[in-house]
A and B are shown apart, each in its own frame.
Chain A
Amino acid sequence: GEDVEQSLFLSVREGDSSVINCTYTDSSSTYLYWYKQEPGAGLQLLTYIFSNMDMKQDQRLTVLLNKKDKHLSLRIADTQTGDSAIYFCAESLYNFNKFYFGSGTKLNVKP
């Protein structure tokens, strides 16, 4: 399968910005996604970006895509304790029916 890599842990203080990074290997990726998973729960779609875009902003979330470096990031502004969760980066290829996931970044927000 395709390689999607993320760092395993990130710890920030409440009110700070969080930046979660992801790298992928397949240059034919069509969409790149960010999902949030709280303990014992399913995956919640946070946002996604089409591969011909550089940036997408949605309230406190900003997604940056660097296609040249195959690097995707998710910035959460004013991080809250309710943002503590595991965040998964995923890519879908041109055929849309397969998604490749990173192993997830566990975000810990300290009060």
Chain B
Amino acid sequence: NAGVTQTPKFQVLKTGQSMTLQCAQDMNHEYMSWYRQDPGMGLRLIHYSVGAGITDQGEVPNGYNVSRSTTEDFPLRLLSAAPSQTSVYFCASSGRGTGGFEAFFGQGTRLTVV
């Protein structure tokens, strides 16, 4: 997917460990967000940002922190991993495109918490 890079692609954590999922975009978009995808539930919004220095909570923010120090980067931190956080995480970047308002997603991070 054009312009949104997520790392790592796979991660296994032990309960209680912390980690940071990285997300970077090169489209100069104002808006970035994090979603988690669980089977049969579509994507649910964790946190989002409308610009550098501004973040807010989505539907399922508990257990996650974010910060946006630059327009390009929007890392997601798991403070103390729990098995309920086993999921696929997607970062999105959105803004005005040539045809309207577009949103692009990264390739996802598959996280397993054991």
Secondary structure dominating the interface of A: strand
Complex contact B103–A88 (CB within 8 A):
no
Residues in chain B within 8 A of chain A (CB atoms): 1, 31, 33, 35, 40-45, 48-50, 58-59, 90, 92, 94, 99-108
Complex contact A42–B90 (CB within 8 A):
yes
Q: A103 at the A/B interface (Cβ < 8 Å)? A: yes
Distance from B84 Cβ to chain A, minimum over Cβ atoms (Å): 19
Complex contact A99–B100 (CB within 8 A):
no
Complex contact A30–B101 (CB within 8 A):
yes
B-chain residues with CB within 8 Å of residue A57 when the two chains form the complex: none
Contact of B48 among A42, A50, A98 (CB under 8 A): A98
Q: A97 at the A/B interface (Cβ < 8 Å)? A: yes
- Nearest to B45 among chain A residues (CB) is A98
